Structure 1
């Protein structure tokens, strides 16, 4: 019985270690080459930026011109690294949208009310 308990503890510890390693492994992945931005709000999106996360963020994509309500645009990522990014958008009605995203997993960003 004691041996079964030790095996169960060892398996539990291995599973916990594997689960804590998953986010680190995801960070070493490669994001999609381009991300689609969809403006589902009723006002234009005036600016939108995607930057690397961390202490020294680097801009990897930027909206070239305002995006009308209901429209979408594909932004090509410039030298992406890792999966963690911050996105920031500003709308015509002065509303802001900020988020941290995993761009290895997400390739479409929908901006809603």
Structure 2
């Protein structure tokens, strides 16, 4: 299992996002649960996972803030395909996002400085 890293960006924070390639198998489905790990020094206030495309649909949302160094698991609600949009917001007003993240391949999202 490979982990996908999203790097927070904002005032004074460098922007870098690693995006996985789409799954090669047609009809592939993501794992029903995705692990989110906050490796930043500030709480993750919100995180949303949505399908990509014109008819975007929210499939998972962080229920409460995630403390620094902690992990949580989000259940995907009726996932479709492998490509997803991720948006996270931190207590220091930094944001992180990724468009086209392959959740069929990556089951862990690590949020870093």
CA distance in 1, matches of 2:26, 2:82: 5
Q: TM-score, normalised by structure 1?
A: 0.77
Q: TM-score, normalised by structure 2?
A: 0.77
Where does the alignment leave 5 or more consecutive residues of structure 1 unmatched? 1-22
The SS at the match of 2:55 is coil
More strand by share: 2
CA distance in 2, matches of 1:24, 1:30: 9
Higher relative contact order (CA 8 A, sep 6+): 2
How big is the alpha-carbon RMSD for the aligned residues of Structure 1 and Structure 2?
Answer: 1.3
Where does the alignment leave 5 or more consecutive residues of structure 2 unmatched? 1-21
State the shift of 1:109 in Å: 0.1
Report the structure number with the largest CA radius of gyration. Answer: 1
Listed one character per residue, the Cα deviations across residues 44-82 of structure 1 (whole Å, up to 9, x for unaligned) are 000000000001110000000000000000000000000
